Amino acid sequence: MTMQFDRIALIGIGLIGSSIAHDIKRLGLAKEVIVATRSADTLKRAEELRLGDRYTTSSSEAVKDADLVIVSVPVGASESVAKEVASNLKVGAIVTDVGSTKASVIAQMQPHMPPHVHFIPGHPLAGTEKSGPDAGFAGLFEGRWCIFTPIAGTDETALKRLRRFWEALGSKVDEMDPEHHDKVLAIVSHLPHIIAYNIVGTADDLEAVTESEVIKYSASGFRDFTRLAASDPTMWRDVCLHNKDAILEMLARFSEDLAYLQRAIRWGEGDKIFDLFTRTRAIRRSIIQAGQDVDAPDFGRPHPLEKKA
């Protein structure tokens, strides 16, 4: 793989930042990587994991002379990071982010970006329920989409350079306008997380009544929700607050559809229930055909005899 940038600054080194760091190193995409994070503890861990070449708790220090700056912090922290780095950004630098919401990140960062940099908002659709620098791994973005939501008038050469970077990480790159991104992500990612947080919360409230049967019998469906509901509370609080309109719109649709299903169950309308469940099964097949998941039963979890082998 060819070197793409002299100096890359990674602002935020949690799951996403550290996964990017692993890939930059593995693929030799930069001469030097500077890692910045706000806490000394996280910085120390990043250093122990050898995620960069230089380390600092000052993001404004980190971006000096960087050709590419990647901001990987909770979306609610975007504005403070933009303010902090703005005056030290190099002429011609590409500044991007990985935030899960886009209209809000643009509103927070764009006003602080000096005219001599290329600000290109982005969002890799890849992740796990883990967070922090230990959670990252090489190859996280392989075969996954990365969505850019470029601002009108963005320099084409800068866009191509950033596209080439994400493609080197194995991603497929798409472009959308930020509002559309936020609607699409509200249904494919934000709502599933909110529903998972909610159902696990409901079960938790019931737990006193059922005396930990929820935990004991969790393999029957509930367990799959707990993976999503174990995701980072700060990140997901910020997603809820910063994609409020799209999430509320999708939640309203969801509640209507749930009422329809509730009614069908109440009135014993088996055909309606069966039709819905048949339609949803086909969606799972389409996801597998599109290469977005593997066709292993139970998400490929090893079963007791396989574990012993």
Binding site for ligand NAP (CB under 6 A): 12-17, 37-39, 42, 72-75, 77, 80-81, 98-100, 124, 127, 131-132, 135, 232, 235
Residues shown for the chain: 309
Q: How far is the CB of 42 from ligand NAP (least distance, A)?
A: 3
Q: How far is the CB of 289 from ligand NAP (least distance, A)?
A: 23
Q: How far is the CB of 238 from ligand NAP (least distance, A)?
A: 7
Query: Which single residue is written with the structure tokens 């529903």?
Result: 195
Q: How far is the CB of 242 from ligand NAP (least distance, A)?
A: 9
CA distance 174 to 195: 27
Nearer to ligand NAP, 14 or 52 (CB): 14
CA distance 41 to 60: 19
Q: How distant is the alpha carbon of residue 2 from its chain centre?
A: 27
Q: Which two tokens stand for residue 196?
A: 């998972």
Q: How far is the CB of 269 from ligand NAP (least distance, A)?
A: 38
Distance of CA 156 to CAs 112, 151, 160, 285, 295, Å? Answer: 21, 11, 6, 37, 39
Q: How far is the CB of 147 from ligand NAP (least distance, A)?
A: 10
Nearer to ligand NAP, 77 or 94 (CB): 77
Nearer to ligand NAP, 73 or 250 (CB): 73
CA dihedral 241, 126, 109, 167 (to 10 degrees): -160
Q: How far is the CB of 206 from ligand NAP (least distance, A)?
A: 28
Residues facing 145 on adjacent strands:
172
Nearer to ligand NAP, 69 or 235 (CB): 235
Collapsed DSSP state (helix, strand, coil) of residue 170: coil
Would strands 145-148 and 122-124 be described as parallel, antiparallel, or unpaired?
Answer: antiparallel
Nearer to ligand NAP, 25 or 272 (CB): 25
Nearest to 13 by CA among 129, 117, 135: 135
Query: Which single residue is written with the structure tokens 């909610």?
Result: 198
Nearest to 215 by CA among 228, 205, 204, 225: 204
Nearer to ligand NAP, 16 or 158 (CB): 16
Nearer to ligand NAP, 7 or 123 (CB): 123
Q: Are 217 and 207 in contact (CB under 8 A)?
A: no
